[in-house]
């Protein structure tokens, strides 16, 4: 019986998706949780800068990059909980950020989402909203064009690819949001996708407060992204 139990234990116990050590019930082992905490940007550079204002929890590198890859490409959607909560915690601890917002995840094309099984931006946003109390509008926007990955494209190519790729979703078609929109994504690179979304929302007289992202890529991409 004891042998059977330990065999069952072996099957039921899961391992940390980042380092493969046995887990104690959380989504990540303690060592990986600590390493992830170290990925948080200093508050002074994290917050609400630029046009549109951008809130970026961390830099897209190291353990944070690894965690996002595991979430998206290794089918570990449970990682959205610790990551989304970290964003929400930091948001709540930061003075001067807007208080009443409707969070709109950058949508995935339905076909791509069917393949992956989830939209990671939406999963993260859900936990972010749990903590901040903001309402979530997962169908505020929809993707109507199945674009290829934008990584590695020139700014012009990105713009062409993204043209009319995003449309107003069912919920905003029925009724515009009551509060300004906070666009929400897992990774912020040049901002071309969010700019496309902002332009669309503005066409429909829907105000956008800014953008929140788990990680932004380092380097001159942000300044290059400003037209």
Residues that bind Zn ion (CB under 5 A): 16, 18-19, 29, 32
Smallest separation, CB 12 to Zn ion (Å):
18
R_g over Cα of the chain = 19
Which residue number, 82 or 176, has a Cβ lying nearer to Zn ion? 82
Which residue number, 65 or 130, has a Cβ lying nearer to Zn ion? 65
Smallest separation, CB 31 to Zn ion (Å):
5
Name the β-bridge partners of 104.
183
Question: Rounded CA gap, 156 and 125, in Å?
Answer: 29
Joined tokens for residue 224: 């290059």
Which residue number, 70 or 153, has a Cβ lying nearer to Zn ion? 70
Which residue number, 63 or 185, has a Cβ lying nearer to Zn ion? 63
SS3 sequence of the chain:
CHHHHHHHHHHHCCECCCCCCECCCCCCCHHHHHHHHCCECCHHHHCCECCCCEEEEEECCHHHHHHHHHHHHCCCHHHHHHHHHHHHHHHHHCCCCCCCCEEEECCCCHHHHHHHCCCHHHHHHHHHHHHHCCEECCCCEEECCCCCCCCCCCHHHHHHHHCCCEEECHHHHHCCCCCCEEEEEEEECCCHHHHHHHHHHHHCCCCEEEEEEEEECCCCHHHHHCC
Smallest separation, CB 124 to Zn ion (Å):
19
Which residue number, 29 or 106, has a Cβ lying nearer to Zn ion? 29
Which residue number, 29 or 129, has a Cβ lying nearer to Zn ion? 29
Smallest separation, CB 206 to Zn ion (Å):
41
């Amino acid at each position: 019986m004891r042998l059977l139990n330990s065999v069952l234990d072996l099957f039921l116990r899961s391992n940390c998706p980042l380092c493969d050590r046995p887990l104690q019930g959380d989504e990540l082992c303690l060592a990986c949780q600590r390493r992830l905490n170290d990925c948080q940007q200093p508050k002074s550079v994290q917050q609400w800068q630029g046009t549109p204002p951008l809130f970026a929890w961390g830099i897209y590198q190291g353990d944070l990059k690894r965690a996002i890859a595991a979430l998206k490409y290794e089918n570990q959607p449970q990682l959205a909980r610790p990551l989304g909560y970290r964003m929400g915690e930091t948001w709540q601890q930061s003075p001067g950020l807007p208080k009443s917002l409707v969070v709109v995840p950058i949508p995935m094309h339905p076909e791509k989402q069917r393949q992956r099984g989830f939209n990671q931006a939406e999963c993260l946003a859900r936990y972010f909203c749990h903590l901040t109390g903001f309402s979530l509008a997962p169908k505020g926007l929809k993707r109507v064009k199945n674009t290829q990955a934008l990584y590695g494209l020139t700014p012009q190519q990105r713009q062409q690819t993204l043209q009319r790729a995003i449309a107003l979703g069912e919920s905003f078609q029925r009724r515009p949001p009551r509060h300004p929109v906070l666009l929400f994504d897992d990774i912020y690179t040049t901002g071309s996708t969010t700019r496309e979304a902002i332009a669309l929302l503005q066409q429909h007289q829907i105000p956008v407060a800014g953008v929140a992202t788990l990680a932004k890529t380092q380097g001159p991409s942000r300044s290059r992204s400003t037209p």
